[in-house]
Amino acid sequence: MWQASDALWRRSGLALLTLMLLGWSSLAAAQTPPAPLLVVPLEGVVAAPGFERARRALNDARASGATALLLEVDGRATVTAEALRFARDIVAAPLPVVVHLSGDTGALGAILAAAAHVVAMTPEALIGHSRPLVGPAQPASTARETSALLAEWVSMRQRDASWVDDVVYRGRRVGPATLPAITDVVADDRAALLAQLEGRRVMLANGSERRLTTLTAPLVTPEPTIGELLGQLLTQPAVLVWLWLAAVIAAALEFATPGVGVFAATAVLAALACAWGLNALPFHGWALALVLVGTGLIVLDGALASHGLLAAAGSLVAALGAFALFDDTRAPGVIIDGFALAPVLIAGGLSSIAGLVLGWQSRRSRHADDPLIGHYADVRQACAPEGLVYVAGALWRARLATGQALPGDIVCVIGRQQLTLLVRPLDDAEAAALRRGEP
């Protein structure tokens, strides 16, 4: 009997221990936070800096054990080579990558839709560009390789690949309305998308299968770094136009008021930022040459006093170059539109009007008494023959007819040509009078 009782106690203890272990495991499971869902937006022109942010998020998602990476794509312009490079990262990703396309996503949407594990679109979304994804200027082998690569990715995801050749060679645009099999999910917004993704099973490149848990997953959007923000900003064509315009205006002001330094520094910084952004986008060399020639004409207008004619011509030449600046066969959708160029043309027109007004006023001043004539001026920058003088509370550009005047010398104003004072050195009598303090 004692043996039966002992066996009963052992069985009861084992049962109790089992229940305790089950309770602890249930409690631990309840306390384990669900895997996050990382969300990254891709907007505007997406070049190398934009893909760097998405690539960093992909690495963060893998390190944090995220259920998936969600790319919300609302940009239609990209650099094809950079997009294909990032698409290869998606194909080899150790976790599911979902793309949600809204609007006209162009070549960017086509490349990401081919590579993503799950493709979601809004009902009106489109992928593909109005021109071939690989233009005729590039080798035929490039087009064949791109088409074969996209078709391979789409077929691997068991989706309809009939659109690939049309997009790559003929510039077709497709969406759920024209080709329903192109997408896995049609969702108007993020909430509808997450509801449809819940429980979906995704096969990864290594052969493993993942089940998506999107309804309970906390949404995490990795903050971009300062470098990524600046890089993304500087690869937007409109921003490049504004930087270029700032550099031109600052350079023209430096010519008008030499020696100040602030305008020169501004021009250099704006030009360097513009060059950095331009280097990240494929461009035509001849179009850039037109922009540089136009820029030179605008800047020279301030030095040669052409009454705005050079500025107007330079604005027109620069605008023509800017319209054709970017290579649409390597960067589909990357263009400088008329809205961004409007300030350039307006600035050129205003400069012409201002030049004509100043020229008219200058011609009038030749027949009227100039209040500065006869005044003495302090030389601040050596006149040999041109330099800077200080008179009537302001710095003026000055020109000596002969000889030179060094900083600290006193000269007399004898005339004015537009914004340049004509000066002469003092004779001995004037210099002696000044030393005695006589007017």
pLDDT tens digits, one per residue of 314-331: 888 888 898 889 988 888
Q: Of 43-52, 114-123, 297-306, which range is least confident?
A: 297-306
Single out the residue of 54, 53, 112, 70 nearest to residue 87, CA to CA.
112
Burial of 121 (0-12, 13-18, 19+ CB in 10 A): buried
User: CA dist 433 to 319, 426, 429, 437, 439, Å?
Assistant: 57, 10, 6, 6, 7
Query: How confident is the model at residue 259, as a pLDDT?
Result: 58
Stretch 230-257: mean pLDDT, rounded?
84
Same fold, 33-225 and 376-435: no
Query: How confident is the model at residue 16, as a pLDDT?
Result: 58
71-95, pLDDT tens digit by residue? Answer: 999 877 899 999 999 999 999 999 9
Phi, psi of 34 (to 5 degrees): -65, 155
Higher pLDDT, 398 or 139: 398
Query: How confident is the model at residue 289, as a pLDDT?
Result: 94
- Can you read off the two tokens belonging to residue 353? 């009007």
pLDDT over 50 (residue 29): no
Stretch 204-208: mean pLDDT, rounded?
87
Query: How confident is the model at residue 30, as a pLDDT?
Result: 44
Query: How confident is the model at residue 246, as a pLDDT?
Result: 85
Higher pLDDT, 207 or 26: 207
Higher pLDDT, 14 or 110: 110
Q: Mark 196-227 as b/e (b = at least 16 C-beta within 10 Å).
A: bbeebebebeeeeebebbbeebeebebebeee
Query: How confident is the model at residue 55, as a pLDDT?
Result: 94
CA 341-332-290 angle, 5° bins = 40
Residues 175 and 126 sit within 8 Å (Cβ to Cβ): yes
User: SS3 for 41?
Assistant: strand
pLDDT over 70 (residue 22): no
Sign of CA dihedral 159, 162, 166, 172: negative
Name the pTM for this structure.
0.71
CATH code at 376-435 = 2.40.50.140
Q: With DSSP H G I counted as helix, E B as strand and the rest as coil, what are the percentages for the chain, rounded to 5?
A: 50, 20, 30
Query: How confident is the model at residue 352, as a pLDDT?
Result: 52
Q: Of 185-189, 276-280, 291-295, which range is least confident?
A: 291-295
Query: How confident is the model at residue 263, as a pLDDT?
Result: 82
Model confidence at 436, pLDDT cuts 50, 70, 90, reads: low
Tokens 């950079």 identify what position?
82
Stretch 92-105: mean pLDDT, rounded?
94
Supply the mean pLDDT for the chain: 82
Burial of 3 (0-12, 13-18, 19+ CB in 10 A): exposed
Residues 259 and 221 sit within 8 Å (Cβ to Cβ): no
β-pairing, 97-101 vs 118-121, is: parallel
Tokens 């760097």 identify what position?
52
pLDDT over 80 (residue 1): no
Q: How far apart are CA 43 and CA 386, in angstroms?
A: 51
Q: How far apart are CA 290 and CA 65, in angstroms?
A: 51
Stretch 98-106: mean pLDDT, rounded?
93
Contacts of 410 (CB under 8 A, 6+ apart): 376, 377, 378, 379, 426, 431, 434
Contacts of 238 (CB under 8 A, 6+ apart): 336, 337, 339, 340
Q: How far apart are CA 417 and CA 361, in angstroms?
A: 10
Query: How confident is the model at residue 24, as a pLDDT?
Result: 47
Stretch 89-103: mean pLDDT, rounded?
94
Stretch 216-244: mean pLDDT, rounded?
91
pLDDT over 80 (residue 108): yes
pLDDT over 90 (residue 296): no
Asked if residue 385 has a cis previous peptide bond (ω within 30° of 0), the answer is yes
Stretch 6-15: mean pLDDT, rounded?
54
pLDDT over 90 (residue 205): no
Contacts of 215 (CB under 8 A, 6+ apart): 194, 195, 198
Higher pLDDT, 306 or 331: 331
Please give the share of the chain, as a percent, with pLDDT higher than 70.
79
**Residue boundaries of the structural domains of the chain:** 1-30, 33-225, 236-365, 376-435
Domain 33-225 has what CATH class? alpha beta
Residues 300 and 288 sit within 8 Å (Cβ to Cβ): no
Q: How far apart are CA 329 and CA 51, in angstroms?
A: 19
Tokens 């995220």 identify what position?
66
Phi, psi of 16 (to 5 degrees): -65, -40
332-376, pLDDT tens digit by residue? Answer: 888 887 666 666 666 655 555 555 444 444 444 444 456 788 888
pLDDT over 80 (residue 6): no
For residue 267, how many other CB atoms are within 10 A of its CB?
Answer: 20
146-196, pLDDT tens digit by residue? Answer: 889 999 999 999 898 889 988 888 888 899 988 888 999 999 999 999 999
Stretch 381-403: mean pLDDT, rounded?
87
**What does the CA dihedral 355, 356, 358, 363 come to, rounded to 10 degrees?**
140
Terminal-to-terminal C-alpha distance of the chain: 136
Single out the residue of 222, 200, 203, 220 nearest to residue 211, CA to CA.
200
